[in-house]
Structure 1
Amino acid sequence: MDDPAADLWMLERTYLRFRQVNAVVSRPGLLYRRDVLPRARRGRVRILDVGAGGADLCRSLAARLRRDGLSADITALDPDERAMRWAAAHDGGAGVRYRCASSAELAADGELFDIVVSNHLLHHLTAEQLTAVLGDSEKLVAPGGVAGHHDIARSAAAYALFAAGTAPFARNVLAGSFIRADGLTSIRRSFTAAELSALAPERWSVRSGVPYRLELRWEHPDARP
């Protein structure tokens, strides 16, 4: 998927299928209940999704907030024009703002958010890029806010479970997409909790979750639960 020469039809089909896959593996409901809902109840909440891809997480959060009668300004951020173009075309009335840019550009512009998140981004980054994204995240988080970068926890069990769970759908639902092949590659490239903790700045903490999840988290010194 990261390849600029990747087949566009397959890429767009992958974005389309991400919603079903991430609903199972990424647990957006937990993010919503723990970080988004408490802040949204205090007023209009500002959310940034870094490396948003097809922006299914942004649309999911927008739908949950709308269901609960709460309001938000949600920004999907990705430097890949293909992703932002597809996501904007499939907004479906969610009202998400789509930005083709980097986190460094938004930080330089002085933008602030109550919640900065990413999903399955960290394992795509070099150590230097990871440090830069975390530094940008701290600049982008407003007082009372939080940054939470969510990813896969690498393990043989996670690889086997994803391989077995996606195999029945490889020739139907997932056919013509990168999800199965890239998902298996992503698990191999992802971190263990110990590895991520070793790379993280001292002020960041690593949390483990299920199914085979990691969160690299930083709360603004003025953060409230």
Structure 2
Amino acid sequence: MRILGGGPEAGILGPGFLGGRDTAAVEDMDRPDCDPDRLRRTYEQFGLVNRVVAGWHRLYRTRVRPQLTSSGEAALLDVGCGGGDLAVMIARWAARDRIPLHVTGIDPDARAYRFAARRKPVPGVKFRQASSGDLLAEGRQYDVVISNHVLHHLTAPELQSFLDDSAGLARRLALHNDLRRSAAAYALFSAGALPLTGSYIRGDGLTSIRRSYTVTELAAVVPAGWTVEPHAPFHCLLSYRRHDTYGQGRA
């Protein structure tokens, strides 16, 4: 693995609150008995939150689009797509750029899949209730594989399997964007999410920050071949570019 960004990490935290990952914390929306109305509103609000804090439009322009424009009809996989807002946004950006793109959003959670599947249909976008391992077992491949705010949910063995799946599924690029733990991120999100009432966004967002990695922590646990770098605002970006010899002979 490589770390990009140079110099000592600015986000290193001391002991105590936010000094280490709180892997025992559980997001309320992940509980099987969570309130369905609040869960629905959470999925509805994800699109706004992701547009404001996740920085995907820049990632699309600088990382994703260059992998699509020279490949004719391309395919992108969004793993852990939740309510499907990112899959829809990327499909619309590609359509605006006149790039033929098929986007598949997958999530193993039946509740997320049902919400995404009920969205107004968008040309080139489809959703499945599935895991990355399911698609790998089917022999699927995509030009680009992405995820948003997934990594901090995974246990150590799950993270390794997830990244192995991603490398196997990606013909060109795997790109995973996740929260980066810091006191500033926690304080700003706590204040900024106050208007998002009636959902799990604020409480679960703060829990997610407590569970998330710093760049140095993430770099220490990912396999060789992956690159970790800071991505503003308050995100870690994990990327993998397929070598020409990786997976030769696969359909």
| TM-score, normalised via structure 1 length | 0.93
Name the residue aligned to 2:52: 24
Distance in 1 (alpha carbons) for counterparts of 2:140 and 2:59 = 22
* Matched position secondary structure for 1:6: coil
Which residue of 31, 44, 59 maps to 2:88? Answer: 59
Cα offset, 1:70, TM superposition = 1.6
Q: What letter is aligned with 2:217?
A: E
Which 5+ residue runs of structure 1 have no aligned equivalent?
Answer: none
Name the residue aligned to 1:179: 201
2:219 is the alignment partner of 1:197 = yes
Which residue of 29, 38, 41 maps to 2:66? Answer: 38
Name the residue aligned to 2:98: 69
Alignment map for 1:61-210 (pairs within 5 Å): 61-142=90-171, 145-167=172-194, 169=195, 174-210=196-232
Distance in 2 (alpha carbons) for counterparts of 1:77 and 1:127 = 21
Q: What letter is aligned with 1:180?
A: R
Cα offset, 1:123, TM superposition = 0.4
Q: What letter is aligned with 1:128?
A: P
Cα offset, 1:35, TM superposition = 2.5
| TM-score, normalised via structure 2 length | 0.83
Superposition misfits of 4+ residues, deviation over 3 angstroms: none
Distance in 1 (alpha carbons) for counterparts of 2:210 and 2:140 = 34
Distance in 2 (alpha carbons) for counterparts of 1:39 and 1:205 = 17
What count of residue pairs does the alignment treat as equivalent?
A: 216
RMSD: 1.3
Distance in 1 (alpha carbons) for counterparts of 2:244 and 2:52 = 33
* Matched position secondary structure for 2:220: helix
Distance in 2 (alpha carbons) for counterparts of 1:54 and 1:83 = 5
Structure with greater contact order relative to length (CA < 8 Å, sep ≥ 6): 2
Distance in 1 (alpha carbons) for counterparts of 2:117 and 2:124 = 9
Distance 1:179 1:218, change over 3 A: same
Name the residue aligned to 1:11: 39
Distance in 2 (alpha carbons) for counterparts of 1:57 and 1:23 = 9
* Matched position secondary structure for 1:199: coil
Cα offset, 1:68, TM superposition = 1.5
> What are the Cα deviations for residues 35-91 of structure 1, in whole angstroms up to 9, with x where unaligned?
322232221221001111001110000111111222111010100111111111114
Distance in 1 (alpha carbons) for counterparts of 2:169 and 2:88 = 21
Which 5+ residue runs of structure 2 have no aligned equivalent?
Answer: 1-28, 246-251
